[in-house]
């Protein structure tokens, strides 16, 4: 694999890792509401970076949708589009349900309807993110192996002593 391609894959890998960390942090049930809202706003940054880093795939796949790609890639594309739309809906409903962050910047009162919608669709989104990770698990495992295979192992160096 060319160096720039390997570098792009590793950049995607690192940024996707941060995206997953922020997603998990935003969805831990034990966190308080202010932390959830702030980390959710921060989550938007790695999400946008994720889309930008995968933009070539986003542009390339629809042009081959009905001819060259196989069923798995076609399903993956449709699933990812639905996941994207659901993610946008969860973000918008979360903003409309905001009780902490948005009122700091404007005169805003959250409506209970949006809170309920946000919670219901967020729970569904968590399941779909799990499916998304499962669909890309081979890529994750392969890139993890190739990323960490050349890192020298730290430890005590030993030298063999010949019996004498």
**C-alpha of 90 from chain center:** 14
The Cα–Cα gap between 41 and 60 comes to 29
Q: Where are the domains of the chain?
A: 8-147
pTM for this model (two decimals): 0.74
Give pLDDT < 50 ranges for the chain: 1, 161, 164
Q: What is the pLDDT of residues 25-58, one digit of tens each?
A: 888 877 888 888 898 888 888 888 888 888 877 7
Helix (H) or strand (E) holding 31: none
């Amino acid at each position: 694999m060319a160096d720039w391609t390997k570098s792009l894959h590793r950049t995607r890998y690192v940024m996707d890792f941060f995206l997953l960390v922020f997603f998990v942090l935003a969805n831990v049930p034990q966190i308080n509401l202010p932390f959830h809202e702030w980390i959710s706003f921060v989550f938007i940054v790695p999400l946008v970076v994720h889309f930008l880093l995968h933009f070539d795939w986003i542009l390339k796949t629809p042009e081959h949708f009905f001819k060259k790609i196989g069923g798995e890639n076609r399903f993956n594309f449709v699933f990812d589009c639905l996941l994207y739309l659901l993610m946008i809906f969860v973000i918008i409903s979360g903003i409309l349900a905001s009780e902490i962050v948005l009122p700091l910047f404007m005169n805003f009162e959250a409506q209970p309807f949006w809170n309920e919608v946000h919670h219901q669709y967020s729970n569904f989104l968590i399941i779909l993110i799990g499916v998304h990770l499962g669909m890309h698990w081979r890529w994750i495992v392969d890139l993890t192996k190739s990323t960490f295979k050349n890192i020298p192992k730290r430890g005590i160096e030993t030298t063999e002593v010949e019996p004498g």
